[in-house]
Structure 1
Amino acid sequence: MQDNQPRGTIVIEDLEIGMMRFLQKQVTDHDIALFAEVSTDRNPVHLDDAYARETMFHGRIAHGMLTAGLISAVIGEQLPGHGTVYLSQTLKFMAPVRPGDIVRAEVEVQAIDHARRRVTLATRCLVGDTVVLRGEAMVLAPSGKFD
């Protein structure tokens, strides 16, 4: 399940404080297996049901960075979008994401430095009403001006 907004680019000249974009994605067992393969993070809390049941999570959870990757997708595809360069990202993991959960990744413009083309973005992911991840990103936004 995906509920995405239009993809493309919003140049810095058109950004406004409070602009927000999001995507929703159901995290599947396949996603977790693929992330484990690509990242080489094969921690059994993500992959082994029996092991994970004995942890503080009482079951398997998705990699935190898989969830954080959804924020990257919103930034790179929607806000500001194509041509954006990530400069930094803080993350605080608040609750686990489990296989089958539908994650909503949200990005909101907090501050704009037009002179340096820097944009500060509030970032968060939710499962239902539960915030599972929050943070802040700094990006270099694309410009519509040709110097």
Structure 2
Amino acid sequence: MLDNMPRGTICIEDIEIGMSRHLSKEVTDRDIEMFAEVSTDRNPVHLDDAYAQDTIFEGRIAHGMLTAGLISAVIGEQLPGHGTVYLGQTLKFMAPVRPGDIVYAEVEVIEIDYSRRRVKMDCHCAVDGKVVLKGEAIVLAPSRKFD
């Protein structure tokens, strides 16, 4: 399941404080397996049910960076969107995401430096209304002047 807002680009000239975008995605076993393959992070807490049962999580969890990747998807596809360049991201992991969870990822514009095309955004991910990840991103937004 993937619930997205429209994709595309919002140029720096059109970005305003308070603008937000989001997506929702179910994290599947396949997502976790593919992330393990691409990242080479094969920690058994993500991949081995028996091992994960004996951890503080009492079951398998998704990679934290897989969840964080959903923030990247909102930024790169929706706000500002295509042509955006990531400059920095802070992350605080608040709770685990498990296979089958539907993650809601949202970004909101909190600061804009139009002269430098910099946008600071509050970012969070939630499962069933509980925040599982939060942080801030700074990006270089696309501009109509550089088309």
| TM-score normalized by the length of structure 1 | 0.98
Query: Residue 14 of structure 1: CA displacement?
Result: 0.4
Q: Which residue of 2 aligns with 1:126?
A: 126
Deviations 1:73-104 (CA, angstroms, capped at 9, x unpaired) = 00000000000000000000000000000000
**1:1-147 counterparts in 2 under 5 A?**
1-146=1-146
Runs of 4+ deviating beyond 4 Å:
none
- Separation in 2, partners of 1:53, 1:118: 44
CA distance in 2, matches of 1:54, 1:146: 54
Aligned-partner Cα distance in 2 for 1:48–1:95:
19
- Separation of aligned partners in 2, 1:138 and 1:45: 31
CA distance in 2, matches of 1:128, 1:89: 24
Query: Helix, strand or coil: the match of 1:115?
Result: helix
* Alpha-carbon separation, structure 1, partners of 2:119 and 2:39: 28
Q: Distance between the aligned counterparts of 2:145 and 2:86, measured in 1?
A: 20
Partners of 1:38 and 1:71 in 2: CA distance: 18
Q: What whole-Å deviation, never above 9, does each CA across 1:100-120 have from its counterpart, x for those lacking one? A: 000001010000000100000
Question: How many residues in Structure 1 have an aligned counterpart in Structure 2?
Answer: 147
SS in 2 for 1:73: helix
Gaps of 5+ in 1: none
In the superposition, the TM-score normalised over structure 2's length comes to 0.98
Alpha-carbon offset, residue 146 of structure 1: 4.5
Aligned-pair Cα RMSD in Å: 0.9
Letter paired with 2:4? N
Letter in 1 for 2:63: H
Q: Give a deviation string over 1:26-51, Cα, whole Å, max 9, x none.
A: 00000000000000000000000000
Counterpart code for 2:73: A
The sequence identity of aligned pairs, in percent, is: 78
Q: Structure 1 residues 146 and 40, CA, compared in 2 at 3 Å: closer, same or farther?
A: closer
Between the aligned partners of 1:146 and 1:89, the Cα distance in structure 2 is: 24
Q: Secondary structure at the match of 2:108?
A: strand
